[in-house]
Amino acid sequence: MSSVLKPLLLQSFRTGGLYLLIIALSLAISATTALKFSNTQVQNAVSLQAAEMLGADLVLSDNDPIQSNWVQKAQQLQLKKTSVTLFGSMAHTQNQFVMVNVKAVDEHFPLRGKLEIQPRAKSIQQGEVWLSPRAIDLLKVKVGDQVAIADGKFKVTGIIEHDSNQELGFSGFSPTVIIHQADIAKTNAIQVGSRIEYRLLMAGEPKQVETFKPLFKQQTKHESDPKVDQNRVQQAENSEQSTLKLRDASQSNTRLMKPIENLDTFLQLANLLTILLCGIAIALTSQRYVQQNQDHIALMRCLGASKQQILVAYVILLAIVSALSIVIGSLIGIALGYGLLQLMLQLIPQLQLSFAIADLLMALPIAIFTSVMVLIGFILPSIWELLNTPPIRVIRQQERSRKSYMMMFSVGIASLVIFSLVLSDNLKLSLLVLSAILVLCLALFIVIWFVLKAIKQLKHPLSAYVRIPHQTAFQITALALGLSLITVLSVLRTDLLERWQQQLPEGTPNQFVYGLPPFDMPQFKQQLEQNNWQSTPLYPNIRGRLIAKNGQAFSTELIQQNNSLRRELNLTQAELYPKDNLITQGNPKFTQVGQVSVEEKLATELGIKVGDQLSFSLPEGSLDAKVINLRSVEWESFSPNFFFIFSPQTMDENAGSYLSSFYVPATDQPKMVRLIQQFSNTVFIDVGRVLDEVKRLMNILVQVVTVLAILVGLSGILVLIACLNVLMDERRKEVALLRSFGIAKNKLKQMLSLEIGFIGLVAGIVACLFAEVISAIASYKMQMAIQFHPEIWLILPMSMMLVCMLIGRYRLSYLCDIPPLQSLREMNQS
């Protein structure tokens, strides 16, 4: 065995093909390891940023005090916890009376984020109160003054500059005051019938948090089982809301959920594209290595070596290559992963990234799997084919059959698909992208092959630049795929930024008005116009319940499953829909009284279709309306939105109140205080702080996407250069032969430059098509509008042609400058 293995090792290292194979394998291992590790850390860090707006990872809320068994479960999972109580009350001095939102906390609040108080204070003490800036302005007090909250008197010891626990909702209206939990009884504000919310805030490691969620679902599902308690359904029907709720950051801040989901999809796509890029480099390098050893295998067969001996020697050789690649790739991958996190920390200091050696050591299984799949898919089939080829045919260097190429291509692609799917965390996205890529590659390979074959048969001067049509077609397709995978990330980054900028444009409403009496509406509208404050329309808001469809009451099972059937909803009527609402089915315009438009997701959940007759219960009586269309609603927007919008004059507008949203510049805050004092019977919700938090997180997401796109793009460019280098190597023998036949150096250089430039031009055009299709799939998964990108069609083909011409001239021109005899010797030694 040593007689076969030793010369095989010497030959492999002498030709240099083995070095390229080790480099390609190490690159694949290090890239997948680093990106997979960093993606996990970035996802956790972004989740922590979102959790800061909740003040915790999980919030368990109830209208009654939280039961002790939930506290015990949190303790068993070693979750950090703190209690918060929210209720509305009147804060007053001798001259000023203001309705406030009271938040009672303890010394552990918040578990995520920061509570910044001026002057600085770590925790609130009994008898103290902290006020938001708006509460300070409305009460006309300062630090050190006395303020009464209901029956309790408190000393103002701080101003709330920043509270990470910011949530939207009409129950959390501003202004806000913070007191100690022990002072709740002192206020006597909680009486029978009071609206109060008890919260248990929890935080911990991701595994601990994810363990609590199924425990909650299992417990509540058991309690809501009609077999366990027959009265539960009736209680649910009679209550406005479910009493016990568990929320995480995405559920509490729906405006953040879609951007975070988009970031997750982007990370998964970046991971998948990196894997594919490495696969392309390995495929080309592997095939080059096999071609370099054709003559050597034939020689060993002629000298009496059996197929089994050669196969075992190659398996040992590839095992050595795999072991070296695992060690090198793992070390580089760990270094790259750690370096990427440090770069993120430098560029985005807001991120809270953690470094765990145990997570990095998970690279080893990934490295082993990568090497095994690559060796099985791209090298062993070709070696097996060579072993079964008669020695005389190998020595003559006959062209490999199409059947051989199809077998190699099929096995290699199958291994690459398995390799990508196993390493991917998003199976649906991976299947969709891989299927599209395979179909595109196959279709374009066939088209390019036939075009090149036709050019070859024309006997035109261009025919000289087309050597072997199916080989050139394969090279163009591989080069185009590698180029397109890099382009996709840049295109998607631009699309994501545009999407997020559209979600929070300049002048996004930062104030909500709720409960505006009808008789105050004209004067309030006049005040908005006088102050030049941009606003959404003033919508009449009437509370009502949906009770029946087509004369049939909803089933108890559906009532139990859908919260919208168990509580009163905000109903409105308007001639025009909110700007971000899109009609998906039915007639877009109201034509008569008694018509209603329904939000499409709720309609799907309740089985509502266009043409159905819906029945509602209102304070002044019942109401029937016909469904004329279904709407998609952007709940993430900072504007009023509704499940049901009725045609004008269907309801009595004076039976309810009005709501709207508007934008107040920072310089106009004193005017806002006067407006609140003028309309003292109306609730004003300041979402400016929430908006600032959302913008801050959006900025972090933009920076994360930018850094990842740049880093993956740079690694992709390195892989692309490796692919081009392999293509250059395939032409070394042709250059040596042509040079020995006496072709002029300048003509040879020109021919090579044009040939490689032509391949680059066609690859650039094909890459644009690839990039458009893949980005369209990703945009569809991210629920973004599919866009055409003309800029890449203008830049990419010409750029790729110039790059290929420069690389080709640089890599091959030196062969034109050496004597023909030396060229032939180099050819024989390779």
Question: What integer pLDDT is reported at residue 320 of this predicted model?
Answer: 83
Question: What integer pLDDT is reported at residue 241 of this predicted model?
Answer: 44
Average pLDDT of span 441-453 = 84
| pLDDT per residue as tens digits for the range 238-281 | 444 457 888 886 665 555 556 666 767 776 777 677 767 776 77
- The residues that bridge with 658 in the sheet, in sequence order, are 516, 540
684 Cα distance to chain centroid: 34
What is the DSSP code string of 272-340?
Answer: HHHHHHHHHHHHHHHHHHHHHTHHHHHHHHHTT--HHHHHHHHHHHHHHHHHHHHHHHHHHHHHHHHHH
Which residue in 441, 634, 661 sits closest to 539, CA to CA?
A: 661
Question: What integer pLDDT is reported at residue 239 of this predicted model?
Answer: 40
The pLDDT-based confidence of 27 (bands split at 50, 70, 90) is: confident
Average pLDDT of span 663-678 = 86
User: Domain residues of the chain, as ranges?
Assistant: 2-48+257-502+696-829, 57-252, 536-661
The pLDDT-based confidence of 225 (bands split at 50, 70, 90) is: very low
Q: Rounded CA gap, 686 and 96, in Å? A: 20
Residue 611 CB neighbours (<10 A) = 10
Question: What integer pLDDT is reported at residue 599 of this predicted model?
Answer: 93
pTM across the whole model: 0.64
Question: Is 60 exceeded by the pLDDT of residue 229?
Answer: no
Q: Pick 546 or 194 by higher pLDDT.
A: 546
Q: Rounded CA gap, 420 and 277, in Å? A: 11
Q: Pick 398 or 611 by higher pLDDT.
A: 611
| pLDDT per residue as tens digits for the range 318-367 | 788 888 888 888 888 777 777 767 766 765 555 565 656 666 666 667 66
Question: What integer pLDDT is reported at residue 725 of this predicted model?
Answer: 64
Q: Name the pairing type of β-strands 176-180 and 613-618.
A: unpaired
Question: Is 50 exceeded by the pLDDT of residue 424?
Answer: yes
Residue 461 CB neighbours (<10 A) = 7
593 neighbors 649 (Cβ within 8 angstroms): yes
Q: Rounded CA gap, 441 and 375, in Å? A: 22
Which residue in 733, 816, 768 sits closest to 468, CA to CA?
A: 733
Contacts of 204 (CB under 8 A, 6+ apart): 57, 77, 78, 79, 80
Average pLDDT of span 369-384 = 70
Question: What integer pLDDT is reported at residue 85 of this predicted model?
Answer: 92
Which residue in 454, 455, 472, 451 sits closest to 463, CA to CA?
A: 455
Q: Rounded CA gap, 600 and 577, in Å? A: 14
What is the DSSP code string of 132-188?
Answer: -HHHHHHHT--TT-EEEETTEEEEEEEEEEEES----SGGGPSSEEEEEGGGHHHHT
The pLDDT-based confidence of 235 (bands split at 50, 70, 90) is: very low
Most confident of 373-377, 663-667, 740-744, 820-824: 663-667
Question: What integer pLDDT is reported at residue 461 of this predicted model?
Answer: 64
- Compute the half-sphere exposure of residue 431: CA atoms within 13 Å on the CB side of its CA: 3
Residue entry with tokens 């929210």: 86
Most confident of 178-187, 349-358, 794-803: 178-187
Q: Rounded CA gap, 200 and 223, in Å? A: 20
- Compute the half-sphere exposure of residue 462: CA atoms within 13 Å on the CB side of its CA: 12
What is the DSSP code string of 695-721?
Answer: HHHHHHHHHHHHHHHHHHHHHHHHHHH
Question: What integer pLDDT is reported at residue 16 of this predicted model?
Answer: 61
| pLDDT per residue as tens digits for the range 112-162 | 888 889 888 888 999 999 998 888 988 989 999 999 999 999 999 999 987
Task: Point out the least confidently predicted range of 58-67, 688-697, 797-806.
Answer: 688-697
Contacts of 431 (CB under 8 A, 6+ apart): 421
Average pLDDT of span 569-590 = 89
Question: What integer pLDDT is reported at residue 233 of this predicted model?
Answer: 36
User: pLDDT averaged over the chain?
Assistant: 77
Q: Rounded CA gap, 549 and 554, in Å? A: 7
Q: Rounded CA gap, 247 and 197, in Å? A: 14
Average pLDDT of span 637-652 = 88
- The residues that bridge with 200 in the sheet, in sequence order, are 60, 83
135 neighbors 98 (Cβ within 8 angstroms): yes
Q: Name the pairing type of β-strands 245-248 and 58-62.
A: antiparallel
The pLDDT-based confidence of 40 (bands split at 50, 70, 90) is: low
807 neighbors 759 (Cβ within 8 angstroms): no
Token code pair at residue 785 = 């509008």
Residue 324 CB neighbours (<10 A) = 16
| pLDDT per residue as tens digits for the range 501-540 | 666 667 788 888 888 889 899 999 999 999 999 888 999 9
Which residue in 735, 730, 765 sits closest to 750, CA to CA?
A: 735
121 Cα distance to chain centroid: 37
Token code pair at residue 825 = 């010797």
370 neighbors 730 (Cβ within 8 angstroms): no
Question: What integer pLDDT is reported at residue 146 of this predicted model?
Answer: 94
